[in-house]
Amino acid sequence: MADISAHSEADNEENPLERQRELMALLSQETRHSIIQALIGHPKTLASADEINHFIPSKSKKTVGEQLDVLVEADILAIYEYPPNKEKRGLPWKFYGFTEYGADILGDFNYLKGVPMARAVHQKTRKPEKIERHETAPRPPLPEPVRATFRLDEEAE
């Protein structure tokens, strides 16, 4: 696959159809698609690796980790750190969440229409105590454009 991490406007203007094909290949690969679904369903749209792995039980942690790396390299996801959790046993301090670019891509490919359903599935899914603890752990804020895309501020009100 071509290097899809460079997403300059010049690239998009040169061959937008090729860029669209590359993005579809990136987003539609089974494990990456499952990761995206797990994240859009998460109430904070920001999850630990353990939380993501819980929602993709058919894949090994190594496979999920490799695909998370691909999504980070492509600038769809970023790793958001919350250092205060490092000192607290049992709490994650690294979280995966969408970048502003990633949120824009999800909008372009109509993934955002699935957010209500993905959140309903997430809410109804039985989670072990460790995953519940991770889900309620303090975490860093997402960039404002990402928060706006997923209407995170509206839900807090």
Please return the burial class of 53, using the count of CB atoms within 10 Å of its CB with bins 0-12, 13-18 and 19+: buried
Cβ atoms of residues 53 and 31 within 8 Å: no
Does a structural domain hold residue 7?
Answer: no
Show the tokens assigned to 85.
């959790």
Q: Is residue 3 part of a domain?
A: no
Q: What's the total number of domains in the chain?
A: 1
Q: Residue 140 gets which letter from DSSP?
A: P
pLDDT digits (tens, 9 = 90+) for 100-143: 999 999 999 999 999 999 999 999 999 999 999 999 999 999 99
Q: Render pLDDT for 121-132 as a digit per residue (tens, 0 to 9).
A: 999 999 999 999
CB 25 within 8 A of CB 16: no
142 is written with which tokens? 């997402």
Model confidence pLDDT, tens digit, residues 57-104 = 888 999 999 999 999 999 999 999 999 999 998 899 999 999 999 999
CATH number of the CATH domain containing 34: 1.10.10.10
Residue 122 to residues 18, 22, 36, 147: CA-CA distances in angstroms? 34, 29, 13, 18
Does residue 97 fall inside a structural domain? Answer: yes
Upper half-sphere CA count for residue 18 (Cβ side, 13 Å): 11
Residue numbers of the domain that contains 41: 14-156
